[in-house]
Amino acid sequence: MANKTKLADSLTQKTILCVEDEASIRDMLRFSLEREGYRVEGAENRLEMSESISRQRPDLILMDWMLPDASGPQLVKELRSESYTRDIPIIMLTAKADEQDMIKGLDSGADDYVTKPVSLKSLNARIKALLRRAEAFNPDDSISYDRLNLNLASQTLSIDDMQISLGSTELKLLKFFMQSPERIFSRAQLLDHVWGQNNYLDERTVDVHILRLRKLLKPNAADHLIKTVRGSGYKFSV
């Protein structure tokens, strides 16, 4: 079915958000990154960036040094302060070859930088390296929300002082919810974020695992945290 093919394609693709106010540079980056197989979102300013991120969490962000309504380093700092966006790899784009500025960019929390005019070969290599690193490495050992504490190393969930063992899918699903509470996610978005790439799954898979997760939470009266939002999907909320 056309729908399934589209979903399967979207699961193998990484999304890069390009935050750049100069349309010609944005278009050039979009064109060449799409040719490399990435899905590319564009944003001209802070507002468009926030909107794009709440629609879909990108796998990597290219951040211009100076935007009309904010500075790149300032936005990087903000992204690093929120759990939902903290781990997204960020590459700073700077026209300034000045070393001080680059250092300031990296100080703000960017993972890497490239100078304009952008060498696509070098940019591609950096993107690939950061995406590989992001997949292999998760700096968080535990996440807390309400009465829940999720230990990622031991793959255990504690509610108050009770320990609960989780299967790997339930763990990933709960981790995703706990990292992004109060947001509504569609089944397709959950598939994309939790099941990741190279999967060919029906959206009902999500419902099955939500059901399992609620069952695991129920004895501790925490199943209500996963809310069904009619016609939209699911939300994690107190």
Binding site for Ca ion (CB under 5 A): 21, 64, 66
Taking the least distance from each CB to Ca ion, the nearer of 68 and 231 is 68
Taking the least distance from each CB to Ca ion, the nearer of 26 and 187 is 26
Taking the least distance from each CB to Ca ion, the nearer of 16 and 166 is 16
Provide, rounded to whole angstroms, the least separation between the CB of residue 124 and Ca ion: 21
Cα-based distances in Å from 46 to 15, 19, 69, 106: 18, 8, 6, 19
Provide, rounded to whole angstroms, the least separation between the CB of residue 105 and Ca ion: 13
Strand partners, 159: 148, 162
Cα-based distances in Å from 155 to 4, 30, 39, 140, 176: 31, 38, 31, 12, 14
- Sign of the dihedral through C-alpha 44, 50, 53, 54: negative
Taking the least distance from each CB to Ca ion, the nearer of 90 and 166 is 90
Taking the least distance from each CB to Ca ion, the nearer of 26 and 39 is 26
Provide, rounded to whole angstroms, the least separation between the CB of residue 114 and Ca ion: 14
Provide, rounded to whole angstroms, the least separation between the CB of residue 199 and Ca ion: 37
Output the DSSP codes for 77-121: HHHHTSTTTTT--EEEEES---HHHHHHHHHTT-SEEEESSP-HH
Taking the CA atoms of residue 14, residue 20, residue 24 and residue 30 in that order, the dihedral angle to the nearest 10 degrees is 0
Taking the least distance from each CB to Ca ion, the nearer of 22 and 223 is 22
Provide, rounded to whole angstroms, the least separation between the CB of residue 25 and Ca ion: 8
> Rounded to an integer, what distance in angstroms lies between the CA atom of residue 74 and that of residue 43?
16
Provide, rounded to whole angstroms, the least separation between the CB of residue 40 and Ca ion: 17
